Amino acid sequence: MRPNHLHPVAMNKEDLNRALVALIEKKQELHKLSYDDTRYDDVEEELHELEDDFNEEYGAYLEEMLEKVHEKLCPDTDVLLPTAYLPNDIGGDTGYLPSHKEGVWVDSDEFPGKEARLVLVPNPTRLILSVGKTVRKEVWKA
């Protein structure tokens, strides 16, 4: 087994969670604006900068985790950038469970033929497997 040099030596869960919340709040802000809003382009640019910073800071750590989760749950589905797994809204609460329409669609071996999605949510930072309107299963936690 090769040494794990992708893992940051001391990954700060609180910093990761704060960055995740900031990113999702910016997505919410953009989502509420119409395309013809004068602030739309600026907010969209701010969102892209936050996404780039997030992927640069936490990308290696999260991609490694996503590869392990995909391998176990949905080996036929490609791993995307961590920011692809974010919901558009978190409703501001801590026990938030994502809508079944949020996250990345995956082909889950455990739920064949069902629409399954993986979504990365904060408070605490975790990855949820969402299947239809009823199943919400935590598959990883920071």
Q: How many domains does the chain have?
A: 1
Residue 98 corresponds to which amino acid? Answer: P
Distance CA(94)–CA(103), nearest Å, equals: 18
Please check whether residue 2 lies inside any domain of the structure: no
Given CA atoms 5, 104, 119, 26 in this order, what sign does their dihedral have?
positive
Instruction: List all residues 6 or more positions away from 115 whose beta carbon is below 8 Å from its beta carbon.
Output: 100, 105, 131, 132
**How far apart (Å, rounded) are the C-alpha atoms in residues 119 and 131?**
11
Containing structural domain, residue 20 = 13-141
* Chunked mean pLDDT (size 10), the chain, 142 residues: 45 91 93 94 96 95 96 95 89 64 92 92 92 91 92
Under 8 Å between Cβ of 108 and 73: yes
pTM of the model as a whole: 0.84
> What pLDDT, on a 0 to 100 scale, did the predictor assign at position 132?
87
8 in a structural domain: no
Residue 6 lies in a domain: no
Beta partners for residue 2, in sequence order: none
3-state class (DSSP) for residue 138: strand
Start-to-end C-alpha separation, the chain: 22
Q: How much is the pLDDT for 133?
A: 85
Q: How much is the pLDDT for 91?
A: 65
